[in-house]
Amino acid sequence: MIHGRPEIYLAGPEVFLPDPLARAAAMKSICAGLGAVGWFPMDNQGDVADPDPEVMAARICAADEALVARCDAIVANMTPFRGASMDAGTCYEMGLAKGLGKLVVGWTEDPRRWQDKVAALGPLTPEGAWFRDAQGMLCRDFGLIDNLMMVKGAHAVFASFEAAVGFVVQRLGTA
């Protein structure tokens, strides 16, 4: 907390946008307007550059983990990224935050059921109450927007970033 305002780690694939810092500024502005302090992953990556990609990757990982540990909560973009499910790095950050006892909240711009997202990638074949995908893998969505561990591992999932931040502020309070 900073002056009674919850600190929120802003997880999601926004770091891969052409201008991630512009998106970070917009997200932080929303956080400030709602009574929170937003932290974007790149805020803690000032000293990660290294000519060795292995070293740089390890530094980015450590920096992001440290920022998750510092924050009171995580608000994660669960919108599908490069497939039917959310960004894998965001999944990791949500699990880390959950393991550290942080408030974990998600949001998505795609409220379709996970089964429908998987079906958009290829045909599903009915098998009892469930389906199998083109590779023969079982698809059990339970009516959720993503994998059950991601959705049920979060305290809540919202249809907008603003609603997710508002939930965190409501749960953790402001000064």
Considering the entire predicted model, what is its pTM?
0.90
Instruction: Give the pLDDT of residue 129.
Output: 84
CATH number of the domain that 48 lies in?
Answer: 3.40.50.450
Domain of residue 41, residue span: 7-110+147-172
Q: Residue 124 corresponds to which amino acid? A: L
Rg (CA), the chain: 17
List, run by run, the mean pLDDT of 10-residue segments along the chain (175 residues). Answer: 86 94 96 94 83 92 94 96 93 96 96 88 88 88 89 95 96 74
Q: CA dist 57 to 15, 46, 89, 92, Å?
A: 14, 13, 12, 15
Instruction: Give the pLDDT of residue 1.
Output: 73
Residues 103 and 40 in one domain: yes
Q: Which residue has the tokens 């500024």?
A: 25
Instruction: Give the pLDDT of residue 25.
Output: 96
Whether residue 45 contacts residue 60, with contact meaning beta carbons closer than 8 Å, is answered with: yes
3-class DSSP state of 172: helix
Residues 168 and 104 in one domain: yes
Residue 20 belongs to some domain of the structure: yes
Whether residue 60 contacts residue 68, with contact meaning beta carbons closer than 8 Å, is answered with: no
Residues 84 and 97 in one domain: yes
Residues 67 and 29 in one domain: yes
Residue 2 belongs to some domain of the structure: no
Instruction: Give the pLDDT of residue 155.
Output: 95
Residue 84 belongs to some domain of the structure: yes
Residues 59 and 123 in one domain: no
